[in-house]
Structure 1
Amino acid sequence: MAGTFAKLKQAYQLFKTIDFKMLAKLSEKIDLSQVMTTVAQLDENQLNGLMKMLGSRGGKKKSPPIDGDFYDLGGRLSPEDRALQLKVRAFMETEIQPIVNEYWLKAEFPFEIIPKFAALNICGVTYDGYGCPNRSYLMEGVIAMEMARVDASIATFFGVQSGLAMGSIYMLGSQAQKDEWLPGMQQLKIIGAFGLTEPEVGSGAAGGLTATAKREGDTWILNGQKKWIGNATFADVTVMWARDLDDNQVKGFLLRKDTPGLSVEKIHDKMALRIVQNGLITMKDCRVAEADRLQHANGFKDTSRVLRMTRAGVAWEAVGCARGAYENALAYTRSRKQFGKPIAAFQLIQGHLVEMLANLTAMQTMVYRLSELQDAGALKDEHASLAKVFCTMRTRDVVSRAREVMGGNGILLEYNVARFVADAEAIYSYEGTKEINSLIVGRAITGMSAFV
């Protein structure tokens, strides 16, 4: 009896949706008695489905929001941190997005954004004192992701300034050096660079630096070259790494931009991170005072402490790059129509989108946990290396699929995916190649070193 009553109630609800003028016209085309007989034979689920379809009256269905944070990791942030995340996002979308393609094409840096960038108050985000916010490593990662979500070059600029350059001084400098440099760098009144990689030495930096340092009293004489140094063309100070000729140990120096014998040549014709101003640095008998030697940098193990910290940030940048590509590709597939409907409605396109999202979500959860380890003081080299390997590999896959679902338009800058495709290649290689980072992890899990 109850089932019969439920069916009668559903039938009544269906009856209320009928437009009888339209029904009269419809009767001229189809056998309504047969339709009614068929409807009467529908079970409860089928009838509910029919009512839902009729109730929509052909109205436009509201699309779900475009959001690459599928597991809502942002919801785990404190309200204060969430507000900062959205503040950085708004800055990137309003100040960077409108100009990024222009500057990418010109391979120039938008210096006019630096004061606005400084107003965000995020440089040295994890440091205590010197005007720094003293937030978590998790928040530092989220900031890097938000920047790379719009442009990886700006994220790289931030990583060099806030991470590599400021981090070297914060972790390895004397108190006098911290007092001199960090407040100005935090406010972006002083721009920093990090000089480790050389023309012939990348992965072998631990034991093979050709840049040398020779002490003469209270002065050090630096000679050699550095390559791929971000911010080098306009940096006020470069954290320079060189091999001490006396003890063969890697040491760090604060090389000021007006030092005699120092010259910087901009690297041209890059296919990736074109906004980043990479330089080839040449040092010819550059004299550096002992007071400008990083006082707690006495070997490559100290250099590695900085790299461990910033390598986690590179993994977050990879996530941002992938997220930007995914979200732009998803928006495109919703608006691009072929065969009479948006291409997002086709199975093959949805397959690509889901694989992109799966990779992105796996990457996000990985770096989130990575930063939790870092905040707990438990981060190891192998943790950062595994995240760098995995995230940069998966990012290459995500940006490739993003370009694929956009067809030929995917190679045009105006559709905001081509930059991510190119920039993913640079992120994949810098701060340790896949091979080197894989060997760091391999050593940790096997107990055997495969390094030469």
Structure 2
Amino acid sequence: MSAPAKLPPFDPADPLGIDDLLSDEDLAIRDTVRSWAADRVLPHIAEWYENGELPGIRELARELGSLGALGMSLTGYGCAGATAVQYGLACLELEAADSGIRSLVSVQGSLAMYAIWKYGSEEQKQRWLPSMAAGETIGCFGLTEPDHGSDPAGMRTYAKRDGTDWVLSGRKMWITNGSVAGVAVVWAQTDEGSGGIRGFAVPTDTPGFSAPEIKHKWSLRASVTSELVMDEVRLPADAVLPGVTGLKGPLSCLSHARYGIVWGAMGAARASFDAAVEYAKTREQFGRPIGGFQLTQAKLADMAVELHKGVLLAHHLGLRMDAGRLRPEQVSFGKLNNVREAIEICRTSRTVLGANGISLEYPVMRHVTNLESVLTYEGTVEMHQLVLGKALTGLDAFR
């Protein structure tokens, strides 16, 4: 009888051995993005967050383009053609730095670029995608409106025919990258019969288009958020995305972006959890580190369980996406669970740090407030619950 194989040592940073599921290329991509974030974001993010700005966003976009992080899982047109798992790992590392940085990448690649890549004409792809993949052109995605968030079918933005042109009018709200974008993918009602919602690739220097920046945010402060205003914006016939009509277009883009959030939320959770662990090992009360008390250890254990379960869930969904088998309901499953658990991990981490938890010297409160936005955008908790409820029962509770 042969001797049993020697077990590897327990790794507190990877208690389930999830790294064993990753290829050498996966690990290299993850480590590259982590190193970039440590060098270019972490030394400055507290100041950016406190000031409510993201200075040098165009330079950051070009650097992210050089890493291959923009439109990362798309193929051709200068895109990296990475796997869904590799894109997810990048999202995790970016959001471990800050949700605003991951949002920049998600909106660029999974919303604006994906819409053009999936539904655009060859001419539109050639015009926009190479420069967007390089970070030379920033994109935004206009779906949400001031009065229509969870119900995009009720949008009021309208595009009407005028000869061979389209004339676009309306407003979009809470648009990441809006005021720095060179192209806006805007969804609008048309008179093309039932379900006539169409997407338009709108150059932002077109007369009648403006994107005032939204200020006074208490979440995603290191992120550019804007309103889009279209006042009789005249577009040529070839501005419309020809590959889709109806809500299928924007909703499929949102599903692609939500997948990145499933991973990214675990990055915010990991950063907060790591801060709590380190603090618990060094902060002394009653003559010894608080990490030696049972209640603190219970918090750390529970957070570790939910954190690494969430990463396993994200990895599973990534494998399904790579196999072409990922359903929108499964993305809702991941987004609902991982963001909800991530925000709870961050809140519990804050309690471990006590009063220091609210200081920008630590990342925890910044991640808590950012995740309040992540919890809501790309589908609220309630919407994903109803998506899963319908899938489980066959009964539609939306209406």
User: 8 Å contact 1:68–1:326 — kept in the other structure?
Assistant: no
Identical residues among aligned pairs (%)? 35
After TM superposition, give the deviation of residue 67 of structure 1 in Å: 5.4
**Helix, strand or coil for the counterpart of 2:244?**
coil
Aligned twin of 2:178: 232
Is 2:305 aligned against 1:358?
Answer: yes
1: CA distance between counterparts of 2:111 and 2:266?
19
Residue 74 of structure 1 is matched in structure 2 by 19
3-state SS in 2 of match to 1:90: helix
Q: 1:265 aligns with which of 197, 208, 212?
A: 212
Aligned AA (1:377): G
Does structure 1 conserve the Cα–Cα contact (< 8 Å) formed by 2:143 and 2:250?
A: no
CA deviation profile, 1:276-301 (whole Å, cap 9, x unmatched): 11101111101111111111121111
> CA contact under 8 A between 1:254 and 1:294: conserved in structure 2?
yes
Which whole-Å deviations, capped at 9, do the CAs of 1:53-74 have from their partners, x for residues lacking one? Answer: xxxxxxxxxxx99854322323
**What is the distance in 2 between the residues matched to 1:114 and 1:310?**
18
Indicate whether 1:242 and 2:196 are aligned: no
The aligned amino acid for 1:358 is V
So what's the TM-score if we normalise by structure 1?
0.83
Q: Give the aligned partner of residue 374 of structure 1.
A: 321
Q: Does 1:303 align with 2:250?
A: yes
Give the structure with higher Rg (CA).
1
Give 1:162 shift: 1.2
* TM-score, structure 2 normalization: 0.94
Contact between 1:231 and 1:277, CA under 8 Å: does it hold in 2? Answer: yes
How far 1:217 sits from its partner (Å)?
2.2
Can you give the 5+ residue segments of structure 1 that lack an aligned partner in the other structure? 1-63
Alignment correspondent of 2:336: 389
**Contact between 1:85 and 1:142, CA under 8 Å: does it hold in 2?**
yes
Unaligned runs of 5+ in 2: 1-8
Q: With a CA cutoff of 8 Å and minimum separation of 6, indicate the structure with the bigger relative contact order.
A: 2
Structure 1 segments of 4+ aligned residues over 2 angstroms from their partners: 64-70, 112-119, 245-248
CA contact (8 A) 1:66 1:330 kept: no
Q: Is the 8 A contact 2:74 2:80 kept in 1?
A: yes
- Once residues 90 and 66 of structure 1 are traced to their aligned partners in structure 2, the CA distance between those partners, rounded to angstroms, is 20
Q: Aligned equivalents of 1:432 and 1:374: distance in 2?
A: 19
Q: Which one-letter code corresponds to 1:78 in the other structure? A: S
How far apart are residue 116 of structure 1 and its match? Answer: 2.7
Relative to structure 1, the CA distance from residue 139 to residue 219 in structure 2 (aligned partners, 3 Å threshold; closer, same or farther) is: same
Deviations 1:179-215 (A, max 9, x none): 111100000000000000000000000x201111111
Secondary structure of the 1:177 match is helix
Residues 14-50 of structure 1: per-residue CA shift (max 9 Å, x gap): xxxxxxxxxxxxxxxxxxxxxxxxxxxxxxxxxxxxx
1:171 aligned partner: 118
Note the aligned Cα RMSD (angstroms).
1.5
1:214 aligned partner, one-letter code: K
Contact 1:367-1:387 at 8 Å conserved across structures: yes
